[in-house]
Amino acid sequence: MVADVLSQGAPGTQFAIADRHPGVYGNGPMKSRLILPRRYRPQLGVRETERAIKALKDFFELNLATELSLSRVTAPLFVRSGTGINDDLNGIERPVAFPVPDLGGSQVEIVQSLAKWKRLMLAELAFEPGFGLYTDMNALRPDERLDNTHSIYVDQWDWERVITPADRTVAFLRLIVGKLYGILKRTEQFVYERYPAIRPLLPDTLAFVHAEDLLREYPRLSPRARETEFVRDHGAAFVIGIGGALSDGSLHDGRAPDYDDWSTPAEDGRPGLNGDLLIWNPVLKTAFEISSMGIRVDRAALVRQLEIRGCTERRRLFFHRRLLEGSLPLSIGGGLGQSRLCMYYLRKAHIGEIQSSLWPTAMVRACRRHRIQLL
């Protein structure tokens, strides 16, 4: 339950301090939620943490490239505004933008993710089905609500792989998710061999569940609380079908209309060829999102989802025209949070123990009192 509430820092900002799932606490545009685990003690000091981050990232990146047949490409930090290339996530987040005099004053935007840019690069570099690319991406998301797992600064492996029309199924989605989960398991063993005090916890089997099933099983809970209850029981899960309306008209979570396919009916008739990979976080005692991914929209799904979201004007943008004219390959892809992975494997309570970012003064003070050393 809530142990304390801080109202220091920016006016209107509050931090709900607790050792349980953050979704049960207050909401509102100016509120952030912070979990301070009781009796928390870091497994590694700051210098050893930095060494562990380097080794862990190197191991995971090599396995990701090998397992999914991906080639590394250099990622942009910014793209031109008005092209439809930048990811607008849930459709409301504002990108950081600025004019460039030597580009005639054209506006450019710092990327929020590379979901659409990667698909353009698959075409540009002529990847064949079964092969793809990944990037070491850095991004800014200024509208994030800062807490244990969310930061203004985003670092992730963004990956994309060419598929065939026959691959646009939930069965193929599950196959790729299984490969990613195998990497998670191997990395956990890698960490354990170097730091025996950090014992492996991931279950041997990954549970798959549709967002509609979670609604039916936990009808009175919020989507985040549903995830926590399910992942608490199973240890790890992939939630299918995120972005489209559920049977009660609600959304499990938001998704932009122009990258993941959340509207195409799957083999069982339920919509969605995408989802989130979640694992149980033993420090925060909650479901922990590691990856958002999915089979991407084809022409029919793009038209349908733009109409559902009421933004058909996007068809005129560069990326959308390329897709509608058939010059982009079918693909599957997603992102894997680098700091989040390190946070989980090294049993950290706050993402700020992994990456250097900015945090409200009240949050920094509260973390310091609970032995959470933010970089």
Q: pLDDT (tens digit, 9 = 90+) per residue, 28-61?
A: 333 458 999 988 999 999 999 999 999 999 999 9
Tokens for 281? Answer: 């976080």
**Would you call 292 a catalytic residue per the annotation?**
yes
Average pLDDT taken over every residue of the chain: 88
Candidates 32, 113, 151, 156; catalytic one? 156
Cα separation of 116 and 103, whole Å?
Answer: 22
Domain definitions of the chain by residue range: 43-357
Q: What is the C-alpha separation between 372 and 9, in angstroms, rounded?
A: 18
Task: Write down the pLDDT at residue 133.
Answer: 97
pLDDT for 319-328, tens place per residue? 999 999 999 9
pTM: 0.87
Q: In which band, very low, low, confident or very high, does the pLDDT at 94 lie, cut at 50, 70 and 90? A: confident
Candidate list 112, 292, 305, 338, residue with the active-site label: 292
pLDDT at site 149: 92
Q: How far apart are CA 292 and CA 92, in angstroms?
A: 18
Beta bridge partners of 154: 139
* Mean pLDDT value across residues 290-312: 95
Judging by beta carbons within 10 Å of its beta carbon (0-12, 13-18, 19+), is residue 183 exposed, middle or buried? buried
Mean pLDDT over 241-258 rounds to: 92
Euclidean distance between CA atoms 164 and 344, whole angstroms? 34
Which position among 33, 141, 226, 296 bears the catalytic label? 141
Higher-pLDDT residue of 20 and 323 is 323
Residue 2 has pLDDT above 60, yes or no: no
Judge contact between 32 and 363, C-beta under 8 A: yes
Q: Could you tell me the pLDDT band of residue 114, with boundaries at 50, 70 and 90?
A: confident
**Residue among 87, 155, 188, 298 flagged as catalytic:** 87
Q: Is 276 a catalytic residue?
A: yes
- Residue range 18-33: mean pLDDT, rounded: 40
Residue 139 phi, psi dihedral angles, 5° rounding: -145, 170
Higher confidence at residue 101 or residue 195?
195
| 136 contacts: CB under 8 Å, gap ≥ 6 | 61, 72, 75, 155, 157
In Å, what is the CA distance from 369 to each residue of 80, 257, 363? 43, 43, 10
E strand or H helix that includes residue 219: none
- Whether residue 156 lies in the annotated active site: yes
> Furthest-apart CA pair in the chain: how many Å?
58
For 332-355, what is the mean pLDDT? 95
Give the model's pLDDT for residue 139. Answer: 85
What confidence category does residue 91 fall into, taking pLDDT thresholds of 50, 70 and 90? low
Catalytic residue among 158, 167, 276, 298: 276
289 is catalytic: yes
Least confident of 135-139, 180-184, 229-233, 348-352: 135-139
The CATH classification number of 43-357 equals 3.30.930.10
pLDDT at position 4 is 29
Residue that the structure tokens 């065939």 belong to = 164
Q: Which one of 258, 289, 298, 353 is the catalytic residue? A: 289
Average of pLDDT values for 160-171? 97
> How far is C-alpha 303 from the geometric centre of its chain's CA atoms?
24
Gyration radius of the chain's alpha carbons: 20
